Amino acid sequence: MGFLHSSSLFPFLLVFIVSFSWPITSSADIYGDFLHCLSSSSISNLVYTQMNSSYSSILESTIHNSRFITPTSPKPWVIVTPLHVSHVQATIRCSKKHGLQLRTRSGGHDFEGVSYISESESPFVIIDLANLRSVQVDVENEVAWVQSGAIMGELYYEIAQKSGTLAFPGALCHGVAFGRYISGGGYGLLFRKYGLAADNVIDAEFIDANGRILKQKINGGRSVLGYSNCNNVFNKQNAGTKRHSNSPPLAIYFIQIPRRNVPFDHDINNEHHHPRRPELNGGHHFQHHVLGRANELVSLMQNIFPELGLTSKDCNEMSFVESILALGLLPNQNLEILLDRNYRGIWSQLFEPEARGATLNFVAYSGKMDEIPESAVPFPHRKGNLYKISYNIRWREEDNVNSERYIPWMRRLHSYMKSFVSKSPREAYVNYRDLDIGKNNEDGYTTYAQMSTWGRTYFKNNFDRLVKIMTKIDPETFFRHQQSISPYFG
């Protein structure tokens, strides 16, 4: 084969080579400069790059959806595991300085994985808050300070160690991280009587996009809305008080409950409805938690809901924290199981052959939820809502290659339910995030009208107030993800 001699070809090749190599060099420079920035803040031992042997284990430690653990899933350049507020501040400042996107992860339970993946091609960094997990319980004043990375089980455990009559209306799942759970509102066993977990927050502190510490009283007068869902504005450790220097970020108040409670699981079978077609048989499963004695509950249910068939044999009196274990599928376990972040008992059961298929979960509202105004916190789904519905479908891990068979089915079911649920907007719970509703443009610019699609779905009229807050504290949209709220400039 001969060589092509042409004086006009060389300049073209030169331009091509320079243009091709420049982004690689630029990315390498940014990466090196970012790591140097972190090292100057003395947190090098808390930084995990893709070359670190612990990188994969830390990344996957709190990924609860195997859809996002694939070779093609976007991976962060760096994972930072801060031990102190100054480490969080340094990571924010260095990320912003070098133009890197930031993801914050408390417990990794986000349905769409937005706390640890990115759909854009831009490099990103994860701040993993798992080490910021302090819980300080003040029994005398019936309050506690809790860091964002603490899981609900750690809070329940600390309460149980000090009191048998104090409780917090938090999540049933003990492995959910406190910070993100609170920021989405947070419903639990006691929310119909005492409201959401967010309704019981009285003080909070944050770090904004410039690394500044912001302090805010919350529910003392119910005058502040924006302590949650301001994208990834950090809950942070409290400073300048009588607590030690690494004290937690959110102050919550406890509720007084009876020493004995009654949780119950009860099934009603419909076998007699289709005796000739057993494949159509179904049933109803009732799960409830009552503050009081078993005999009072049985008498009440026999009067108002005799079809349930509840008897004293179905009811066992126990403490609040024991109720968490019983209803959380952890019966007969020691309290220490609440401290286990890696407990997977419930996940293994969900993937057993008997658990394959779809479920619709109905969570009953009303009670205290009807009394708290929609504007109290960003979570707006209050009076007039009968149930929250979650749609789930499960399949075996080895069947992941066929996932596209299952997800479209779930979408069709969700569409079918449209005429039976809330309208204008069709409301959704932000902690059950759904990117099908809509998402930001990859170039970083999203119009107010686009944001309203999911913003009003999650927050209704509170959306406008959240936009104003973001316009004030993060005008450059440093904290962002696929459904983050951006500033508005008219």
Q: How far is CA 449 from CA 231, 261, 419, 427, in A?
A: 18, 48, 24, 17
Going by pLDDT thresholds of 50, 70 and 90, the confidence category of residue 269 is low
The b/e string for 393-429 (b: 16+ C-beta within 10 A; e otherwise) is: eeeeeeeeeeeeebeeeeeeebeeeeeeeeeebebbb
Average pLDDT, the chain: 80
| pLDDT given for residue 219 in this prediction | 56
User: Does the structure show a pLDDT above 60 at 248?
Assistant: no
| pLDDT given for residue 151 in this prediction | 92
Cα(327)–Cα(178) distance, rounded to whole angstroms?
19
Note if the bond before 425 is cis, omega within 30 degrees: yes
Share of the chain above pLDDT 90, in %: 37
Going by pLDDT thresholds of 50, 70 and 90, the confidence category of residue 283 is low
> What is the CATH topology of the domain spanning 261-331+338-430?
Vanillyl-alcohol Oxidase; Chain A, domain 3 (3.40.462)
pLDDT tens digits along 138-177 = 999 999 999 999 999 999 999 999 998 999 999 988 889 9
- Structure-token match 């997800």, residue found: 407
| pLDDT given for residue 282 in this prediction | 59
pLDDT tens digits along 176-195 = 999 889 989 999 888 999 99
| pLDDT given for residue 453 in this prediction | 93
Please identify which of the residues 55, 343, 406, 432 carries the catalytic annotation.
Answer: 432
Q: What one-letter code names the amino acid at 225?
A: L
Which has the higher per-residue pLDDT, 22 or 202?
202
User: Does the structure show a pLDDT above 90 at 225?
Assistant: no
User: Does the structure show a pLDDT above 80 at 22?
Assistant: no
Cα(85)–Cα(82) distance, rounded to whole angstroms?
7
Share of the chain above pLDDT 70, in %: 80
pLDDT tens digits along 54-78 = 998 899 888 877 788 888 888 999 9
Q: Where in the chain is the domain with CATH 3.30.43.10?
A: 15-131
Beta bridge partners of 314: none
> What is the CATH topology of the domain spanning 15-131?
3.30.43
| pLDDT given for residue 443 in this prediction | 78
User: Does the structure show a pLDDT above 90 at 468?
Assistant: yes
Going by pLDDT thresholds of 50, 70 and 90, the confidence category of residue 466 is very high
Going by pLDDT thresholds of 50, 70 and 90, the confidence category of residue 457 is very high
Going by pLDDT thresholds of 50, 70 and 90, the confidence category of residue 456 is very high
Q: Are the C-beta atoms of 74 and 68 separated by less than 8 Å?
A: no
| Active-site residue flag, 194 | no
> What is the CATH topology of the domain spanning 135-256?
3.30.465
pTM of the model: 0.73
User: Does the structure show a pLDDT above 50 at 228?
Assistant: no
pLDDT tens digits along 325-355 = 888 767 667 888 888 886 655 444 444 333 4
